C-alpha cells in the first residue's frame, strides 16, 4: 500500500498516519519529522532549512525531494509507505511521480483531510498547551504567527496538490472535523471498500 496524506497543518495527518502504519504494517514517512531531525543533527540540509521551518514557510522542493527520494529507496519502504507532509507542492508531486515510475511503482490513494481554518488554530493551541503540560518542548512553529504562514502556504501551494491527484482519480476526501476514531474508520473504509 502506497499512500499520501494531504491536509492543512493541524488536520491530524500524523495521528491518522500512526494508525494506518499499524494496520498496514508500512512506515510513516513524515518530511516534517525528517527536517526536524536534520535540524537537530545539524546536517547541511538541516542548517539551511532551520530558519524557514521556524517561520512556517516551505523549504525548497529540491531539499525535500532529495530527502524523500532517499527514504523511499530504503528497504523498509519496499512494501509500501504513508507519505505525511509530502508532496506539498505540485512540483513535488511531479517529482514523486518520477521517483516512483523509475521503480515501476505508483500510488494507491491520496487521502485528503478536510478541516475548517478556525478549528485548526484551536487544535494547534491545544497541542502546544498539552505538550507544555506534559513537560515537552513545543514546536517552534506552533505559534500563531508561524501557523498563519503555514496555513497560507497550504492554501496557496498544497491545495493544488489535492486537485492534481483528483484529476488522476486518486483523491479520497474525508471529513477531518469528525472524532479521531471516526476519521480512521472513514479512511479505512475508503481504502478497503
Ligand atoms: P504541519 O503539517 O503540522 O505543518 P509538518 O511537520 O508536516 O507539520 O511540517 C513542518 C514544516 O516542515 C513545514 O511548515 C515546512 O517548513 C517543512 N516541510 C515539511 N514537509 C515539507 C515539504 N514537503 N515541502 C516543503 N517544506 C516542508
Cell numbers for 88: 506539498
Is the whole model's pTM more than 0.85, yes or no? yes
CA distance 15 to 166: 23
The answer to whether 127 is a known catalytic residue is yes
Give the model confidence (pLDDT) of 29-43 as tens digits: 999 999 999 999 999
Helix (H, G, I), strand (E, B) or coil at 177: coil
Tell me if 63 sits within 8 A of 38, measured CB to CB: no
Q: Note the pLDDT of residue 21.
A: 96
61-72 vs 44-55: helix crossing angle, rounded to 10: 120
Residue 58 near ligand 1, beta carbon < 6 Å: yes
Cell numbers for 132: 507544555
Q: What is the 3-state secondary structure (H, E, C) of the chain?
A: CEEEEECCCCCCHHHHHHHHHHHHCCCEEEHHHHHHHHHHHCCHHHHHHHHHHHHCCCCCHHHHHHHHHHHHCCHHHCCCEEEECCCCCHHHHHHHHHHHHHCCCCCCEEEEEECCHHHHHHHHHHHHHHHHHCCCCCCCCCCHHHHHHHHHHHHHHHHHHHHHHHHCCCEEEEECCCCHHHHHHHHHHHHHC
The answer to whether 123 is a known catalytic residue is no
The region that residue 45 occupies, defined by phi over 0 for left and psi between -120 and 50 for alpha, beta otherwise, is alpha
Q: Whose CA is nearest to atom 3 of ligand 1?
A: 9
Residue 11 near ligand 1, beta carbon < 6 Å: no
Give the model confidence (pLDDT) of 77-130 as tens digits: 999 999 999 999 999 999 999 999 999 999 999 999 999 998 998 888 898 899
The answer to whether 88 is a known catalytic residue is yes
Q: Note the pLDDT of residue 193.
A: 74
The answer to whether 50 is a known catalytic residue is no
Q: Note the pLDDT of residue 165.
A: 98
Q: Cell 535540524 sits at which residue?
A: 39
Which of 49, 59, 153 is the best mutation target for the ligand 1 pocket, counting ligand atoms within 8 Å of the beta carbon and taking the most? Answer: 59
Q: Note the pLDDT of residue 98.
A: 98
Which of 4, 28, 31 is the best mutation target for the ligand 1 pocket, counting ligand atoms within 8 Å of the beta carbon and taking the most? Answer: 31
Give the model confidence (pLDDT) of 120-177 as tens digits: 988 888 988 999 999 999 989 999 899 999 999 999 999 999 999 999 999 999 999 9
Give the model confidence (pLDDT) of 43-79 as tens digits: 999 999 999 999 999 999 999 999 999 999 999 999 9
Q: Note the pLDDT of residue 30.
A: 97
Amino acid at each position: 500500500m502506497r499512500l499520501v496524506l494531504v491536509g492543512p497543518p493541524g488536520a491530524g495527518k500524523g495521528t491518522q498516519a500512526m494508525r494506518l502504519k499499524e494496520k498496514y504494517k508500512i512506515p510513516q514517512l513524515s518530511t516534517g519529522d525528517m527536517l526536524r531531525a536534520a535540524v537537530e543533527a545539524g546536517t547541511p540540509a538541516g542548517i539551511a532549512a532551520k530558519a524557514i521551518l521556524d517561520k512556517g514557510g516551505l523549504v525548497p522542493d529540491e531539499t525535500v525531494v532529495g530527502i524523500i527520494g532517499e527514504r523511499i529507496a530504503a528497504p523498509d519502504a519496499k512494501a509500501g509507505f504513508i507519505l505525511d507532509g509530502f508532496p506539498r507542492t505540485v512540483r513535488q508531486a511531479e517529482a514523486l511521480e518520477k521517483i516512483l515510475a523509475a521503480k515501476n511503482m505508483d500510488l494507491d490513494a491520496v487521502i485528503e483531510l478536510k478541516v475548517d481554518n478556525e478549528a485548526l488554530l484551536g487544535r494547534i493551541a491545544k497541542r502546544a498547551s498539552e505538550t507544555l503540560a506534559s513537560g515537552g518542548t513545543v514546536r517552534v512553529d506552533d505559534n500563531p504567527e508561524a501557523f498563519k504562514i503555514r496555513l497560507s502556504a497550504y492554501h496557496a501551494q498544497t491545495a493544488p496538490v489535492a486537485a492534481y491527484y483528483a484529476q488522476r482519480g486518486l483523491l479520497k476526501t474525508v471529513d477531518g472535523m469528525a472524532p479521531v476514531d471516526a476519521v480512521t474508520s472513514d479512511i479505512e473504509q475508503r481504502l478497503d471498500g
